[in-house]
């Protein structure tokens, strides 16, 4: 999942970027409204986290512009503006959620997960494919017997993408788009290494990660032979 963070408070921007990267998200961060609007229109993001008090162009203007151009990207407003009028205006303009600074980090993480889960199609917290479950809220992978499958952040993000598109081929371009920011890169060899390691972790649990040569990869749903 790829997130655009728009925050002009540099220490807070750095802290939130580190937090989101640690959770396995790809993050691009900008510090003014003009850059945010241009980037949100030219790149695909799963979520925009938007401050309101921004230089060059304020957050509400960015929000209004994106929605007027029918950009459907989910937007979480993160701001010190606490008046009911500001909240109502933001939500009426098309924001998906609104958080007031200062905030609890755990609540922030929960709201990010909730928006991304809704965007994925209103999925329940845990998605099961055969004997393996991916808890989209806690970002944990477990087996039906309760065993935790511990994954590094990038493999976890890759598995999340494959779970959301189970039974469909996921191309390398989609993987790069979802797992990297503009300041990051992911070569074909690196993708193949992540897929190979993930395949080895899943095979003992009955899940098969198939390579569609020249197209990408697909997480196959186990066939019920009962």
Please, which pLDDT band fits residue 188 given cuts at 50, 70 and 90? confident
In this prediction, residue 226 carries a pLDDT of 47
From first CA to last CA, the distance across the chain in angstroms is: 35
CA-closest candidate to residue 52, choices 28, 17, 82, 18: 82
Of the ranges 39-43, 120-124, 175-179, 194-198, which one carries the lowest mean pLDDT score? 120-124
User: 2-119: what CATH class?
Assistant: alpha beta
Predicted pLDDT of residue 121: 59
Mapping DSSP to helix (H, G, I), strand (E, B) and coil, where does residue 34 land?
helix
Provide the residue ranges of all domains of the chain, joining segments of one domain with +: 2-119, 126-220
- E strand or H helix at 57: none
User: How do residues 9-22 score in pLDDT, each as one tens digit?
Assistant: 999 999 999 999 88
Q: What is the mean pLDDT of the chain?
A: 88
7 vs 182: which has the higher pLDDT: 7
CATH fold of 126-220, please? Arc Repressor Mutant, subunit A (1.10.10)
In the predicted structure, residue 80 carries a pLDDT above the cut 50: yes
């Amino acid at each position: 999942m790829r997130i655009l963070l728009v925050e002009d408070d540099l220490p807070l921007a750095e802290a939130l970027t580190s937090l989101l990267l640690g959770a396995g998200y790809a993050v691009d961060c900008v510090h003014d409204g003009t850059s945010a609007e241009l980037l949100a229109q030219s790149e695909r993001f799963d979520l925009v986290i938007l401050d309101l008090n921004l230089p060059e162009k304020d957050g509400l203007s960015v929000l209004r512009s994106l929605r007027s151009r029918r950009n459907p990207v989910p937007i979480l407003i993160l701001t010190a503006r606490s008046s009911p009028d500001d909240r109502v205006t933001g939500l009426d303009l098309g924001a998906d959620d609104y958080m007031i600074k200062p905030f609890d980090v755990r609540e922030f993480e929960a709201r990010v997960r909730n928006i991304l889960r809704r965007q994925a199609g209103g999925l329940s917290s845990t998605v099961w494919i055969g004997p393996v479950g991916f808890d989209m809220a806690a970002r944990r992978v477990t087996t039906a017997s309760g065993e935790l499958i511990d994954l590094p952040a990038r493999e976890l993000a890759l598995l999340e993408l494959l779970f959301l598109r189970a039974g469909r081929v996921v191309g390398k371009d989609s993987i790069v788009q979802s797992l990297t920011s503009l300041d990051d890169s992911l070569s074909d060899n690196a993708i193949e290494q992540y897929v190979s390691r993930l395949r080895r972790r899943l095979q003992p649990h009955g899940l098969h990660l198939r390579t569609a040569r020249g197209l990408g990869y697909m997480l196959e749903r186990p066939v019920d032979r009962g």
